[in-house]
């Protein structure tokens, strides 16, 4: 998904007093979501992650040097982007769906995972220099990236329209946003899609889309609540997390990050020729089949982006 800017979900700043509560399991955990709800999301340092077990036949696919080392060095973005990767309530422990999935893969391969958060551009520098054995950080498969990296998919790359809770408005295509005021982040895939849709509406004699841009992440949601915009069009994971945690909005339409051209897919990323992509795909297929993968997506509100199997180097977003 990182062919576009990732929105930081600043839920605490918007609804802090409503979001902290106990999980009901006897632990002093902090959660976001409705207090006491089974869908409440644990954001404390004590994650109680879904864990897997080593599968010898899959672990044997890992290159010998990495097996002997015993650790899987995984790069992840240091940005705060809930629910993908962000900081727990102690402001130092990294949590999120990407870390959970990487942990499941490492467990299956019989390796201890070594997370190394860095800036987005340094994820690829780390792969190029073999500092990382892989990256689990919401990376979209693209045709350009496939020239240098191998991919094993584990999630769909979707975008979502988010509007105020209770609306009957639904977005299925260009005509549904004609005359509407919608915000997006500049220079993103969703901006391109929205601009294209606006042009299609004008060509068809409908009103264009009134596209709005904001400087701060929190401004999107403040504008939505004050009805200065009708919807926000952004990454599905951040919108799904905001819907679940704040309880003030709903998703009214979901689309591929690749637009009409291809279904975008998020993948474990490794240096081309590293010998790891087959191991990643096999491990992902295993956790998909045993149900642990589904548990991870459910706990972060991302079940709608589940895949049935891991694909190695599938068709990616086309080159610009």
For 6-30, the pLDDT digits (tens) are 444 344 333 333 343 333 333 445 8
Mean pLDDT score, 219-226: 92
**pLDDT band at residue 4, thresholds of 50, 70 and 90?**
very low
Query: Is pLDDT above 80 for 5?
Result: no
37 band by pLDDT with thresholds 50, 70 and 90: low
- Residue 216 pLDDT: 76
pLDDT at 189: 83
Residue 264 has pLDDT above 60, yes or no: yes
User: What percentage of the chain reaches a pLDDT higher than 90?
Assistant: 76
Q: Which domains does the chain have, with CATH numbers?
A: 47-156+262-312 (3.40.190.10), 158-256 (3.40.190.10)
> How far, in Å, are 3, 40, 161, 196, 305 from residue 254 at the CA level?
18, 23, 6, 16, 10
pLDDT value at 145 more than 80: yes
Segment 283-298 mean pLDDT: 97
pLDDT-based confidence at residue 36 (cuts at 50, 70, 90): low
pLDDT digits (tens, 9 = 90+) for 71-115: 999 999 988 789 999 999 999 999 999 999 999 999 999 999 999
pLDDT over 80 (residue 268): yes
Share of the chain above pLDDT 70, in %: 89
In the predicted structure, residue 282 carries a pLDDT above the cut 70: yes
Q: Across residues 238-254, what is the average pLDDT?
A: 92
Mean pLDDT value across the chain = 89
Residue 9's pLDDT is 38
Contact status, residue 193 vs residue 260, Cβ threshold 8 Å = no
> Among 52-56, 215-219, 282-286, where is mean pLDDT lowest?
215-219
pLDDT of residue 29: 53
pTM: 0.85
Q: Which range has the worst mean pLDDT, 21-30, 114-123, 233-242?
A: 21-30
- Give the confidence band of 2 by pLDDT, cuts at 50, 70, 90: very low
How does residue 224 score in pLDDT terms, banded at 50, 70 and 90?
very high
């Amino acid at each position: 998904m990182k062919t576009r800017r990732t929105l930081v979900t600043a839920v605490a700043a918007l609804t802090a007093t409503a979001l902290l509560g106990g999980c009901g399991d006897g632990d002093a955990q902090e959660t976001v979501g409705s207090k006491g709800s089974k869908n409440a999301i644990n954001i404390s340092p004590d994650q109680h992650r879904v864990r897997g077990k080593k599968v010898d036949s899959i672990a044997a696919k890992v290159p010998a040097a990495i097996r002997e080392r015993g650790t899987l060095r995984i790069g992840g973005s240091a940005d705060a982007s809930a629910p993908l990767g962000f900081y727990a309530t102690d402001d130092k422990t990294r949590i999120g769906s990407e870390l959970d999935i990487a942990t499941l893969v490492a467990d299956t391969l019989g390796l201890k995972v070594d997370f190394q958060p860095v800036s987005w551009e340094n994820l690829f520098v780390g792969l190029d220099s073999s500092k990382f054995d892989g990256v689990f950080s919401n990376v979209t498969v693209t045709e350009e990236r496939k020239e240098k990296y191998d991919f094993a998919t584990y999630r769909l790359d979707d975008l979502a329209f988010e509007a105020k809770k209770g609306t009957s408005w639904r977005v299925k295509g260009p005509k549904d946003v004609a005359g509407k005021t919608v915000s997006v982040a500049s220079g993103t895939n969703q901006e391109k899609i929205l601009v294209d849709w606006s042009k299609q509406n004008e060509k068809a004699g409908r009103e264009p889309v009134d596209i709005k841009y904001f400087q701060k992440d929190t401004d999107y949601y403040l504008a939505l609540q004050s009805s200065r915009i009708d919807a926000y069009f952004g990454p599905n994971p951040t919108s799904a997390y905001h819907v679940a945690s704040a309880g003030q909005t709903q998703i009214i339409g979901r689309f591929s990050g690749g637009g009409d051209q291809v279904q975008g897919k998020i993948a474990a990323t490794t240096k081309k020729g590293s010998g790891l992509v087959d191991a990643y795909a096999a491990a992902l297929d295993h956790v998909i089949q045993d149900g642990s993968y589904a548990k991870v997506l459910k706990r972060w509100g991302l079940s709608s982006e589940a895949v049935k199997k891991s694909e190695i180097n599938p068709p990616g977003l086309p080159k610009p």
